[in-house]
Structure 1
Amino acid sequence: MKYCDSKGYHAWIVQLRSNDLNEIQEEGDGANPPREERHVLHQRNPLDSLSQAPKHQREAHHQKEAHRQREAHHQKEAVHQPQHVEKVHNVNQVVRQQQDVDDEPGDIEWKEFDEKSYVDKKRCTAGQDCYVRNKFNQLASDNTKSNRHVPDTRHNLCKVERFRSNLDPTSVVITFHNEARSTLLRTIVSVFNKSPDHLIREIILVDDFSDDPSDGEELAKIKRVKVIRNEKREGLMRSRVKGADIAKAKILTFLDSHCECNEGWLEPLLDRVKGDRRRVVSPIIDVINMDNFEYIGASADLKGGFDWNLVFKWDYMTPEERNKRTDHPIDPIRTPMIAGGLFTISKDWFEEIGKYDMKMDVWGGENLEISFRVWQCHGALEIIPCSRVGHVFRKQHPYTFPGGSGNVFARNTRRAAEVWMDSYKEFYFAAVPSAKLVDFGDISERVSLRQKLQCKPFRWYLENVYPELKVPGREDVAFGSIQQANMCMDTMGNFAGGTLGVFPCHFAGGNQEFSFTKEGFIRHLDLCVSITSVQPGNVVKLFQCQDGNTMQIWERYNEGTMLKCRDFNLCLDSQEAQMKGLVANECDTSLSTQQWGFTLSKS
């Protein structure tokens, strides 16, 4: 069995999530007779004539009766007056405002759906560029069966774990925009194939204005699959809300449209929510290789986090956390942040805490916002090791963003920062100065929501949920990017023992995020910039910070324009950055290669 470590996993996960959705209300099954007629029909004993019917008719009746009983188990019928009918692309149903659904969305079992015909209509063939539309190898996906066998990546203890017998069923909401048919169908089939039948109330597909409406329309033939189509591009957040609004189950499960559920994925999620409705739970997200669609198990030692640029990343658990889990390897993992594409939540809790920020656009930042909101408003986020779902990770988005992906992400992220981060948002602005210029719109509704829910301050979140995040001290001298004209000091992806260089400033934090502490450390995460020799011309490197190590102690020099190693006449110099990295040379105030400035400076 192949597994993916943290470094490789992070490279894939940066792009986690995609797809989007729109607006509708409740659904009704136009193929069913009116309720009064059904009542009359149910008074007759169908067995009176069934015993004489052909075998295939008797089998059909038993299947239909089993379906009816299953639906009765899910929810009692409620009679509402039909109102305005909205447009929906679904063969057997229409969407009505304020009307419950006696649904039988399609009449075909998922096992009987004509997969070949559905996929072949959009199949990528040899000789075509099979990456251009989806940014993954569509040919590999199209040649992979929807119900294929994948390795069971769970810990062995998960296979004998027992869960409550009275778990509530879930409505699975999947949003998509121009998704490859084979990956979309594989997501649906894996939900049905890897889940107990009685725990899947329905699958709601929200087509966020794909170019071809038939991508979703044809899937409406499958039983328990509902399809809604947006009449314009709406984006992930608004679309998911629309799907959630029509969901009939008490529990919502959100999935991306290029996933693959693994064995026993659902019960652990539902069990945790059953124990506490304020838990929001996510599976471990395995990797589906974008080139050959190989299914690769991900590390179970990771949790979600972020840097001050507010970009999601995966963090290894601390050694203390890993040690505690030695005897309990399948216990839930408290996570400061979820990746956002795959999670399960109680529907009433989702509604109570404000669903999504409906003024966020397309994609990006929503996982940040909902993670802050859940934790600060008295909930909890967990990753459940016994739940595994594969996800196709891509290196770039396959679709366009109205206004550009960078602008959309910056706007969404700033909305989250303005509402939830209190004064700590200044560290975000220091890491990403361009964010200050972003028009983030009206946030009054979200601020009122926070007040109404009596949510906790961001300081509480940092101290109790994410203490591992290095918070620049209020007494720190400077923070952000260390600039030299249009170039910035950069770790170049190196870790402990690595050299530093310069790279065009991107003002997105990450490799270019540093703090200058009152003790004189130039810090990047838990590493400090160190000279490697007291002789000039030697490279500087990143090492673990050590109190009292004079080779790591710097000071602002020449009216704060230079960085000098305090006990030696050596200044940080970019003169040889392209050849061997940053060096420490004798201080010379006339050299532009020794001039540096921070994006946030207090001196």
Structure 2
Amino acid sequence: MNQVLFVYAHKSKLHGARTSPYPRVCAQIPASCTEEAARGQRSRVRVRVHERERVQLLRLTSPSPAERTEARVASPYGLTMRRIRANAIAILTVAWILGTFYYLWQDSKPHTPPSSTDSRSRGHGGQPKVVPGRLEIHRDDRTIALIVTQPPRLDQGQLLGGFDEKSYLSAKTLKPGDDPYREHAFNLQESDRLGSERAIRDTRHYRCASMNYDVDLPSTSIIITFHNEARSTLLRTIKSVLTRTPSSLIQEIILIDDFSTDPDDCQLLSRIPKVRCLRNGRREGLIRSRVRGANSASASVLTFLDSHCEVNTDWLQPMLQRVKEDHTRVVSPIIDVISLDNFAYLAASADLRGGFDWSLHFKWEQIPIEQKMARSDPTQPIRTPVIAGGIFVMDKSWFNHLGQYDTHMDIWGGENFELSFRVWMCGGSLEILPCSRVGHVFRKRHPYDFPEGNALTYIKNTRRAAEVWMDEYKQYYYQARPSAQGKAYGSITDRVTLRRKLNCKPFRWYMENIYPELRVPEQEAVSSVLRQGGLCLESKGPEGLGLGECRGIGGNRPQAQRWELIEPLIRQHDLCLAITAFTAGSKVKMEPCNSKEPRQKWKPKGAALQHMVSGLCLDSQSPTSPPVIMQCRPQLASQIWEPQIIS
């Protein structure tokens, strides 16, 4: 009988040859072979042959670990196995990553809101849920959307009633070769291509999804005025409201057609449930058209909206909540940007508020640093000196009490300043709400005509606002707009009477308390001394301050006691008063002037000098110690500073 003998061969040291570290067939030999026939140089094999079972046993002397490793590395088979393992690990890693993303994609449920300790029952916007027209989006602290899901749409018959959307839009389309920007100052071709509704990104901070609102929020009349608006843009505005707003909150949508060329632009839309159409018999402009809409409204809260907007998820509830809590609040959303070229929906910064310059030109500006420091939650309302004016919510009774709009203003422009000054100075407040977002198409020109021209109309309107509300500060308006002097602006008797009747505060109060960041134009610098009895504030060395005996007369005052008070700075040459910290008891020193440095901002408060950011007052404490800032106390002698102009 023959047996097959297997010998484990490790790396041979004979002739430097390399052999496989794995078993191989050595030879076919008779079963009666002896042990010596199979003995190798370093391996001992003991073979025991069992005739009955014909089994051969192999026993090997194992090589050392170092030799085994060296043999494994040297073997092509070993290299192949290493590659297989590496590829397997890579494949498993990729599969794990893909599985994770798939899990996140499938998990479209919003963040679970925290339990509320509010004893009131809240419903609208409470537990986030998918409702028709709503976008559910997950994002991180930077509000970057990760997942966007479009919920099932409402049945179009239920949403639009007897309105024929297809025929409404197809009746007016851009003709081949026509300029898509000519008629509306935006890309009409792109607007028509989008149709009447689309999915947009939820641009709110992620915490807004956890906000809760009262179940008994008041319903509102939504007032939209327009003149020759593109049909696709107007309809998209209306449908965004209907699909992204709880139906119970919409009392009605009032369209004011300001004498458009085609009456059907508005009349056909009145077939949509809750939509009413009012048409002016002549061109009235946005201001008088809004007043007509407000007078016609049946709800207790008014919502003013432009005709080229798209409202975002849960846009209305935050504004209704704030107005319900305090009817004197006038609230506005963060206004996102809809590109006039490709209609992309772009998120606006949540750190902006409304401002203006002395020409009464509206601008967006950063929230002051002290207001940022005071806000502990990015969802908190933002106080704003003025609103843009196109989109806001206001209690109807408060709107009427304050005198609605100045109806002697024409078409558009300046009405937002007049309303903003009136609200603040007559007992109300203005807020921008970060959890409310509305997109708006911002255009570079007006697509419609002004009866007296754009420039003259704007000057007339803003001059009326300045004459009624800005008191002695109106001189800076005329300095910034010299062309306004001599231009007719009509009678303001009724508005002046209204201001007196409402017992409104002076514009100086508005400047000091609402918009202290608006710098008064610098006049010619006038030197003064700051007296406390017989002592004067004086500089001591490069940074030091203290009180010293007032010396000299008139122009002979020493330079160390000469100060220039140019808001918000108190300066001496190139150095200014600056606090060392924002807490009571902090010392005041001299440092190089920087009008943007919060530590250097001061303003008069009666006979005191108040630091604008900390709210604390300059206090001399004692003649022998440096001045500090302390809690303001009007009758405290160490806080009374008497400026005397040096002739």
TM-score, shorter chain, exceeding 0.5? yes
Is the Cα–Cα contact under 8 Å of residues 180 and 188 in structure 2 kept in the other structure?
Answer: yes
Is 1:225 equivalent to 2:271 in the alignment? no
Q: Structure 1 450/124 Cα, relative in aligned 2: closer, same or farther at 3 Å?
A: same
Gaps of 5+ in 1: 1-106, 478-517, 531-544, 550-603
State which of 407, 419, 426 in structure 2 corresponds to 1:358.
407
1:408-464 residue CA offsets vs partner (Å, 9 max, x unmatched): 000000000000000100011111111112111100000000000000000000111
SS of structure 2 residue aligned to 1:281? strand
Deviation at 1:135, TM superposition (A): 0.4
SS in structure 1 opposite 2:347?
A: strand
Task: Give the CA deviation at 1:519.
Answer: 5.3
How far apart in 2 are the matches of 1:117 and 1:166? 38
Displacement of 1:126 in angstroms is 4.1
Measure how far apart 1:319 and its partner are.
2.4
- Which residue does 2:261 correspond to in 1? 211
Q: After superposition, where does 1:444-523 map in structure 2 within 5 Å?
A: 444-472=493-521
Out of 268, 280, 292, the position equivalent to 2:330 is 280
Q: Mark the CA change 1:291 to 1:548 in structure 2 (over 3 Å): closer, same or farther.
A: closer
Matched-pair contact (CA < 8 Å) for 2:160–2:271? no
- Are residues 1:194 and 2:240 paired? no
One-letter amino acid of the counterpart of residue 165, structure 1: V
Aligned with 1:143 (options 179, 193, 196):
193
Structural mapping, 1:538-549, within 5 Å: 546-547=592-593
Q: Higher Cα Rg: structure 1 or 2?
A: 2
Q: Aligned in 2, Cα 1:474/1:318: closer, same or farther, shift over 3 Å?
A: same
Q: Is the 8 A contact 1:335 1:382 kept in 2?
A: yes
SS in 2 for 1:337: coil
- Which amino acid is 1:191 matched to? V
- What one-letter code is carried by the residue in structure 2 that aligns with 1:397? H
The residue correspondences of 1:106-505 to structure 2 (distance < 5 A) are 109-110=159-160, 113-325=163-375, 327-472=376-521
**SS of equivalent to 2:241:** helix
User: What's the offset of the Cα at 1:117?
Assistant: 1.4
Task: Supply the distance in 1 between the matched residues of 2:349 and 2:519 (Cα, whole angstroms).
Answer: 24
For each residue in 1:300-326, what CA deviation from the matched residue of structure 2 results, as whole angstroms up to 9, or x when unmatched? 00000000111100110122322333x
Residues 536-571 of structure 1, C-alpha deviation per residue, up to 9 Å, x if partnerless? xxxxxxxxx95399xxxxxxxxxxxxxxxxxxxxxx
TM-superposed deviation, 1:123: 1.4
Residue 180 of structure 1 and its aligned partner are, at CA, apart by 0.3
For the structure 1 residues 428 and 476, does the alpha-carbon distance in structure 2 shift closer, same or farther, using more than 3 Å as the test?
farther
Change (3 A) 1:457 1:127: same
CA distance 1:237–1:547, change in 2 (3 Å): same
- Looking at structure 2, the residues matched to 297 and 125 of structure 1 have their Cα atoms a distance apart, in angstroms, of 32
* CA drift at 1:112: 6.5
Distance of 2:370 and 2:469 partners within structure 1: 29
Residues 108 and 222 in structure 1, CA contact (< 8 A), matched pair in contact too: no
| 1:356 aligned partner, one-letter code | Y
AA in 1 matched with 2:268: E
* Contact 2:219–2:248 under 8 Å retained in 1: yes
Partner SS state of residue 143, structure 1 = helix
Distance 2:472 2:254 in 1: 40
Relative to 1, partners in 2 of residues 1:125 and 1:292: Cα closer, same or farther, differing over 3 Å? farther
SS in 1 for 2:498: helix
Rate the CA distance shift 1:348–1:520 in 2: closer, same or farther, 3 A.
Answer: closer
Secondary structure at the aligned position of 2:177 is classed as coil
**1:125·1:139 contact (CA, 8 Å) conserved in 2?**
no
Taking a change above 3 Å as real, the CA distance of residues 155 and 232 of structure 1, as seen in their structure-2 partners, is: same
Distance 1:231 1:260 in 2: 28
CA deviation profile, 1:315-361 (whole Å, cap 9, x unmatched)? 10122322333x30010000000000000000000000000001000
Q: Provide the rounded CA distance (Å) in 2 between the counterparts of 1:305 and 1:416.
A: 15
**C-alpha root-mean-square deviation of aligned residues, in Å?**
2.4
3-state SS in 2 of match to 1:263: coil
Aligned residue in 2 for 1:557: none
Identity across aligned pairs (percent)?
57
Q: CA deviation at 1:119?
A: 1.2
Is the alpha carbon distance of 1:111 and 1:297 closer, same or farther for their aligned partners in structure 2, counting shifts above 3 Å?
A: farther
The CA deviation at 1:140 is: 0.5
**Aligned equivalents of 1:354 and 1:271: distance in 2?**
23
The one-character-per-residue Cα deviations of 1:393-415 (angstroms, maximum 9, x if unpaired) are: 00000001001000000000000
CA contact (8 A) 2:303 2:394 kept: yes
In the aligned structure 2, how far is the partner of 1:324 from the partner of 1:109? 43
Counterpart code for 1:309: S
Q: Secondary structure at the match of 2:364?
A: strand
Structure 2 CA distance for partners of 1:548 and 1:185, relative to 1, 3 Å: closer
Residue pair 1:171, 1:201 contacting (<8 A) in 2 also: yes
CA shift, 1:111, in A, is 7.0
Q: How far is the alpha carbon of 1:115 from its aligned partner?
A: 2.1
| Runs of 4+ residues deviating >4 angstroms | 473-477, 518-521
Q: Larger deviation: 195-204 or 116-125?
A: 116-125
Contact 1:147/1:193 (8 A) holds in 2 = no
- Write out per-residue CA displacement over residues 568-599 of structure 1, whole angstroms, 9 at most, x where no aligned residue: xxxxxxxxxxxxxxxxxxxxxxxxxxxxxxxx
Contact 1:108 1:221 in 2 (8 A): no
For each residue in 1:105-129, what CA deviation from the matched residue of structure 2 results, as whole angstroms up to 9, or x when unmatched? Answer: xx97327733221111111144221
Gap change, CA 1:524 and 1:123, over 3 Å in 2: farther
Counterpart-to-counterpart distance in 1, 2:305 and 2:207 = 25
Contact 2:159 2:242 in 1 (8 A): no
Question: What SS does the aligned partner of 1:154 have?
Answer: coil
1:459-478 C-alpha deviation (Å, 9 max, x unpaired):
0001110111112356658x
- Greater relative contact order, per chain length (Cα 8 Å cut-off, separation 6+): 1
CA distance in 2, matches of 1:178, 1:546: 56
Q: How far, CA to CA, are the matches of 2:307 and 2:234 in structure 1? A: 5
Say if 2:163 and 2:268, in contact at 8 Å, map to a contact too. no
